[in-house]
Amino acid sequence: MRIAILGYGNLGHGVECAVRQNEDITLSMIFTRRDPASVSPVTKGLPVYDVRDIESHLSEFDVLIICSGSATDLPEQTPKYAKLTHVVDSFDTHARIPEHFDAVDRAARSSGHVALISCGWDPGMFSLNRLYANSILPEGQTYTFWGRGVSQGHSDAIRRIPGVRDGKQYTIPVESALDAVRSGSNPELTTRQKHTRECFVVPEVGADLALIEKTIKEMPNYFSDYDTTVHFITEEELKAHHSGMPHGGFVIRTGRTGFDKEHSHVIEYNLKLDSNPEFTAGVLVAFARAVWRCASEGQRGCKTVFDIPPAYLSPLDGAELRKNWL
């Protein structure tokens, strides 16, 4: 099975790496909206094409993994390319998933392709765990915590503040809240009780540090509802200690069973990721395999992780999975 990548940022590079770890999959090419000559994949000799030329390469790959942003790119690109080929994306604007699904489904059905949207870890693996856990324990409560990890959106917000040269923001789940959830006490938790935010800021020379700190902590939507800590550091410190993209989180469901609901249960799924984009890429590649399998069966239309039989993610056949993995 042959993969093509559209968009060579952190996620596209992650897919490039992930394909190398899957023997049954090869990476055919990268498409870009930039000047192809300006894109240098780590894989020696890998072709890079202008995405405007994609139609002349459709016979050279099986599934296109679209590695663009959710804000404006994916709503336009995924339906557009689902008309031409089988596609996978990581669309993560939760509130707009239904309309994105509908647009992609129309495009994929009319052209006879399979598309899979909103793939990654949240939405993605976390969604799957919420669904399984809720189906098994119908009476209970589900909690999702994120972190400890770098939030790109919050880091961007810090960097837009006057006097800030660079910065990184970490989202951190509150340990005592996690413990309360795991105890099965079904706590009602406010935004402030679930997560804290920690900022590492490189100020411009002569900047008003007190004002920067105040501006961060009072920023509506991003920080004002959280307990936020601000550290001022040097550019060298930022580079040395905060250049990675770690992330992770927890999905916990607690629920009760028994004729009189006398027993309690805790289901927990958690991730600790050194590299958010590389892990997301691993999920995308496994689901690209599933998309290709669905396409080979003659299926068409848009799907999500909820619609894919787990066996389709594996290169192993059913007999081997039952023998060694069940």
Q: Which residues bind a copy of itself (CB under 8 A)?
A: 13-14, 16-18, 20-22, 42, 94, 97-98, 101, 118, 123, 125, 127-132, 134-139, 182, 257-259, 263-275, 278-279, 281-283, 286, 289, 304-311, 313-314, 318-319, 321-323, 325-326
Please report, for residues 182, 215, 307, 318, the alpha-carbon distance to residue 12 in angstroms, rounded to integers and kept in the order given. 36, 34, 24, 30
Least distance in Å: CB of 21 to a copy of itself? 5
Least distance in Å: CB of 281 to a copy of itself? 7
Q: Smaller CB distance to a copy of itself: residue 27 or 212?
A: 27
Least distance in Å: CB of 149 to a copy of itself? 12
Least distance in Å: CB of 308 to a copy of itself? 6
Q: Smaller CB distance to a copy of itself: residue 234 or 296?
A: 296
Q: Smaller CB distance to a copy of itself: residue 70 or 215?
A: 70
Burial of 184 (0-12, 13-18, 19+ CB in 10 A): middle
Burial of 99 (0-12, 13-18, 19+ CB in 10 A): exposed
> How is residue 113 written in tokens?
């392709």
* Helix 73-82 vs helix 97-111: crossing angle, to nearest 10: 20
Cβ neighbors of 138 (< 8 A, separation 6 or more) are: 255
Whether the link from the prior residue into 123 is cis, omega within 30° of 0, is yes
CA distance 145 to 143: 7
Q: Smaller CB distance to a copy of itself: residue 153 or 244?
A: 244
Q: Smaller CB distance to a copy of itself: residue 132 or 232?
A: 132
Least distance in Å: CB of 54 to a copy of itself? 25
